[in-house]
């Protein structure tokens, strides 16, 4: 297998335009597209999460410096409860 980096462009009608070097023979190829623009779906998901009422719940808590670690601690405490409640 031969790999090379090529630059191309996507047209308005969603066609990929790439000029192939001479060393690549005609035939089937596999194309991996790397694009600089962030995925809009990911931005929409993040925006949706920020709209959730619990978002920023701990922002004013001075005793919580790392919210991910604090959430992990809460999960651990919940899983190790001995009162039979989940």
28-83 pLDDT tens trace: 988 888 887 766 666 677 777 778 888 888 788 888 888 888 889 988 988 887 77
Q: What is the pTM of this model?
A: 0.37
User: Over 90: is that where the pLDDT of 85 sits?
Assistant: no
* Domains of the chain, residue spans: 8-79
**Cβ contacts of residue 18 below 8 Å, gap of 6+?**
6, 7, 8
Report the run of H or E that residue 17 belongs to, with start and end.
strand 16-18
50 neighbors 42 (Cβ within 8 angstroms)? no
Distance CA(76)–CA(54), nearest Å, equals 20
Q: How far is residue 16's CA from residue 14's CA, in Å, rounded to a whole number?
A: 7
The pLDDT tens digits for 5-43 are 888 988 999 999 999 988 888 999 888 888 877 666 666
């Amino acid at each position: 297998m031969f790999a090379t980096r090529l630059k191309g462009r996507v047209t308005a009608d969603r066609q990929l335009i790439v000029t192939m070097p001479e060393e690549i023979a005609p035939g089937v190829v596999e194309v991996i597209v790397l694009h600089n623009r962030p995925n809009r779906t990911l931005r929409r998901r993040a925006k949706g999460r920020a709209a959730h009422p619990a978002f920023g719940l701990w922002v004013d808590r001075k005793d919580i410096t790392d919210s991910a670690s604090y959430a992990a601690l809460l999960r651990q405490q919940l899983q190790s409860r001995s009162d039979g409640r989940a």
